[in-house]
Chains A and B, each alone.
Chain A
């Protein structure tokens, strides 16, 4: 699926640029956007190291086990094949927390850690497990409690009440998370 999407986006894009006689746009993207990607990856090294370091401490102190036990019932429901106390659980919980509070890069670091832990439970390494799909869908549908950038755009544009969309956002995001979880549970049955 990623394959098809990736190839079609590039080829369709090049074709459209060709039709518009603006092929140089493609050249610009090849140079600039790829550089942005590398700068972003390198920028991630620092925050990644911080969280992996902290996670190591939490692992040794037993904090990770405690979080696992605390989240037990919910985890059993959403991720039945992840054993209780597995380090994947606290990485997932911390990723979702960081996500909700708008710490984007920290969330990415913790999310990658969670995926690595889930991969250790995976018997077919090239195939996603149910837990991975569920984690990513929850991750992609649950968002920042205070969408700061949106608030900024609204207040810059002279809104009478920039924050009035927080309530509607929370309702919409709750609906989408529940729908995503249900979709996962239904789809994971066809293997």
Chain B
């Protein structure tokens, strides 16, 4: 199963490229010309998101490196304990929506401290795989099209993140305990 999924993962991009090219040649498209024409837009888009990337990296960097993140975690511990979320994975719960690489660091730390096959290790691994970085994604995607009023996106994303956290704990409890 894992093997099959890994093979699928590796072949995804080549397959997508092949389908597009084959479909294009069947329909007698000038492939090379169309590609170059479209690719010209790539530079513009990447440059357009640069200021948003700098803004997000700056805020996340200062918040994390200063130790404010850790402080925040300590403050919230009673709340999540109440919800049945193990205190040890709390830094991950908070870090995951903010910074992907930061969250990976926390997982590495938890898995190293408690062991990969401990309950904490399994919950942390599950949580890491089942959530995404909200702050970064929203900053970049909305930034690229200059949307300022993001409406309910953040609220819905946080609700979904919380669901991922609770589901990770519940599923790991049911399966591994």
A98 to B146, CA, bound (A): 24
A154-168 CB contacts (< 8 Å) to partner B = 154-155, 157-168
Chain B window 38-62, contacts with chain A (Cβ cutoff 8 Å), 1 for yes, 0 for no? 1111110111011001111111111
A-B contact count (CB 8 A): 366
Chain A window 162-179, contacts with chain B (Cβ cutoff 8 Å), 1 for yes, 0 for no? 111111110111011101
A38 to B56, CA, bound (A): 11
A147 to B13, CA, bound (A): 17
Is there an interface contact between A141 and B132, defined as CB atoms closer than 8 Å? yes
Is there an interface contact between B5 and A179, defined as CB atoms closer than 8 Å? no
Given contacts A133-B150, A175-B164, A183-B155, contact A28 B65 (CB under 8 A): yes
A36 within 8 A of B: yes
Is there an interface contact between B55 and A60, defined as CB atoms closer than 8 Å? no
B83 within 8 A of A: no
Q: Which residues of B contact A165 (CB under 8 A)?
A: 122, 125-126, 129
Q: Which residues of B contact A177 (CB under 8 A)?
A: 160
Q: Which residues of B contact A111 (CB under 8 A)?
A: 141
Question: Interface size bucket, A side?
Answer: 35 or more
A55 within 8 A of B: yes
12 contacts between A and B (CB under 8 A): A16-B71, A45-B46, A49-B41, A51-B42, A54-B16, A57-B35, A61-B29, A116-B145, A133-B150, A133-B151, A145-B5, A159-B111
B8-50 CB contacts (< 8 Å) to partner A = 8-9, 12-13, 16-17, 19-21, 23-24, 26-27, 29, 31, 34-43, 45-47, 49-50
A60 to B149, CA, bound (A): 33
Contact of A146 among B5, B111, B122, B128 (CB under 8 A): B5
Is there an interface contact between B29 and A60, defined as CB atoms closer than 8 Å? yes
Given contacts A10-B63, A127-B147, contact A41 B155 (CB under 8 A): no
**Would you call the interface of chain A mostly helix, strand, loop, or mixed?**
helix
Is there an interface contact between A136 and B138, defined as CB atoms closer than 8 Å? yes
Given contacts A62-B27, A94-B16, contact A136 B153 (CB under 8 A): yes
Is there an interface contact between B140 and A153, defined as CB atoms closer than 8 Å? no
A71 within 8 A of B: no
Given contacts A20-B67, A37-B54, contact A147 B129 (CB under 8 A): yes
User: Smallest Cβ distance from A20 to chain B, in angstroms?
Assistant: 6
Q: Which residues of A contact B79 (CB under 8 A)?
A: none
A176 to B53, CA, bound (A): 26
